[in-house]
Structure 1
Amino acid sequence: IEAGLGWGWQPRALVQPRIEAGSLVEMPFDNLSNGVALWVDVVWSKERPLGLGARRFVQLIAQQGRPGSGA
């Protein structure tokens, strides 16, 4: 995230020092009560295949958007 490659939902205790230092910026949302419903694009290079953990992460994200998945 600090490299400018995306955004994340992190525990405040973890990121507060970085917010104060200016290396991270907080993005407040009005619709956060129990979760966020939004589209997520996952992008990677064909020249650098995803590892097992990243492939599983992509599968989990994809399952959340399928009908009947509870999304």
Structure 2
Amino acid sequence: MPSTGGIQPSRVVVVDIDEARLSQAKKLLPVELAAAKGIELVYVNTCGMENPTAKTACANGRCGFR
């Protein structure tokens, strides 16, 4: 995993509109590797989503009221 400067995120959401790029990212940084370090890693393809901003916010745990 890349250095985070001492900050340990609990969740990382990777967003793209290209499935090939997301697939490459999944190969380079598998969900299992992140989980072993205590990080929930979520990959989201927003291509064709009606409201990608809202769906991405939900993937990041910010659903509903802010």
TM over 0.5: no
- Which of 1 and 2 has higher RCO (CA within 8 Å, sep 6+)? 2
| The structure with more radius of gyration | 1
Per residue, is there more strand in 1 or in 2? 2
**TM-score, length basis structure 2:** 0.28
**TM-score, length basis structure 1:** 0.27
